[in-house]
Structure 1
């Protein structure tokens, strides 16, 4: 006999100092390794960051087919809302369209700085 046990995510308490990103959109020198990976192999890096956020690994590959980048925009909005960072959908869309690698690198730096927990439910089978 097997049982499925669902663990609900715990409420996330976010401490927001000033409602700003911990690093700017072009602050790649703060994490050179991720910046290089983002510049030289953006699809792989975007998939890794999306997976770290707890979403489908291949989701960023959908951005290849459209000019306004819906996945990068939505991931930036997701992180912004998780940490109560000021901004607008317009700004997220503009940055994701014009500077895609910088957006993914900024999201990765923010996750490392604030250590965003994965929000998906854990499934344990016995």
Structure 2
């Protein structure tokens, strides 16, 4: 180790406040550092949006008796359609429905899986409820819960039959068609 002229050891290290990044390593509450270009105002997040009610009630199954019957006899179909929309197309209707059926066959209770999708749907659309009620609704009346979720997505503008990708294509095609003039075809002459 080398010594300076005054006999103290020579230290090549820079103090922590002069690190290569230019930011102090430690912060002392007694001192305040202001960086050039930094704003002194604090970021205040916007207030949360108020929760909204479901568009239909839990027992409004009579509005679509065909879907209610399908859901009662084969809930995997309705669950698959709902799950595809909620997952924004990352899982297909068939894969979600098959997994739901597998869970029903293995443990006999698909509601344990479907109640998580109800919670996910509530969070995406700001719907009233909580995780406990989601679980209770699915455990007590699975068919009514799935039908309510299906109706909610339909009322939000989704065509449940064509799935997520079909809805996206339909919406982008609608936008593209609205911005371009229709092609004029020449008619047949007699």
**TM-score higher than 0.5 here?**
yes
Q: Distance in 1 between matches of 2:99 and 2:113?
A: 7
Where in structure 1 are there 5+ consecutive unaligned residues?
Answer: 1-15
- Matched residues, number: 105
CA distance in 2, matches of 1:68, 1:35: 17
Determine which of 136, 144, 154 is the counterpart of 1:102.
144
* Aligned-partner Cα distance in 1 for 2:76–2:156: 23
Q: 1:86 Cα shift?
A: 1.2
TM-score (norm. length: structure 1): 0.68
Question: Are residue 114 (structure 1) and residue 147 (structure 2) matched?
Answer: no
The structure whose Rg is larger is 2
CA gap 1:61/1:107 in 2 versus in 1, 3 angstroms: same
TM-score (norm 2): 0.47
Aligned-partner Cα distance in 1 for 2:103–2:64 = 24
- Asked whether 1:39 is paired with 2:72, we answer yes
RMSD, aligned CA: 2.8
Shift of 1:42: 1.7
Kindly indicate whether the alpha-carbon contact (under 8 Å) linking 1:59 and 1:71 is maintained by their aligned counterparts in 2: no
1:90 to 128, 132, 137: 132
Distance 2:57 2:145 in 1: 10
Higher relative contact order (Cα pairs below 8 Å, separated by 6+ residues): 1
Deviation string, structure 1 residues 11-68 (Cα, Å, up to 9, x no partner): xxxxx88611101111001222211111122223322332343334333225412548
